[in-house]
Amino acid sequence: MIATLGQDLSQPEYVHVLINPLPVYGLLIAIVGLIIGLIQRSRTAQIAPLILILLSAAVVWPVVHFGEAGYDRVLSLSDAQGGAWLRAHMYRADQFAWAYYALAGLALLALLLPWKWPKLAVGLTIVTLVSSFAVLALGGYIAYAGGKIRHREFRNEPAPIVPVEPGEH
């Protein structure tokens, strides 16, 4: 069992599948927590969700890294429509990963700046919350294509045509 797990973890596409829900689910949980913290008007209750937003957004880097590393193998295992959805998924991830990095930076600012300037706390937290909703929507858009790569039962429409092949920009 340990050897099998080690073999699985050495495959980038497997690691990608393991960690790719973290940005979406983590962000969703953090949004709920942040709304609760804002309703309570408790800075203390806002700290943990802001940290979770930061971590959920930052984990996109390894998600993208392992996704790119496993691209060729998954493409070789996919049918034509699956390959088209894979290209759409990678294109979307390439186009919008920056939003997660920006959100991570914003969450970091919302955590740190209020120590020096306490009056910024509520405004930065609200901007982070609104930005989190936008980034969550982008994450759903990326994940929508990803879920159709190997799951024919979810394909109720043809894959979109992407303007360029992944990695050609």
pTM of the model: 0.89
49 neighbors 34 (Cβ within 8 angstroms): yes
pLDDT band at 169 (very low <50, low <70, confident <90, very high): very low
CA distance 105 to 161: 32
100-130 b/e with 16+ CB inside 10 Å = b? beebbebbbbbbeebeeeeeebeebbeebbe
pLDDT, position 62: 97
Residue whose structure tokens are 């894979």: 86
* pLDDT, greater one: 92 or 3: 92
Domain ranges, ordered by start, for the chain: 12-154
Is the pLDDT at 22 greater than 70? The verdict is yes
Q: What is the mean pLDDT of residues 105-130?
A: 98
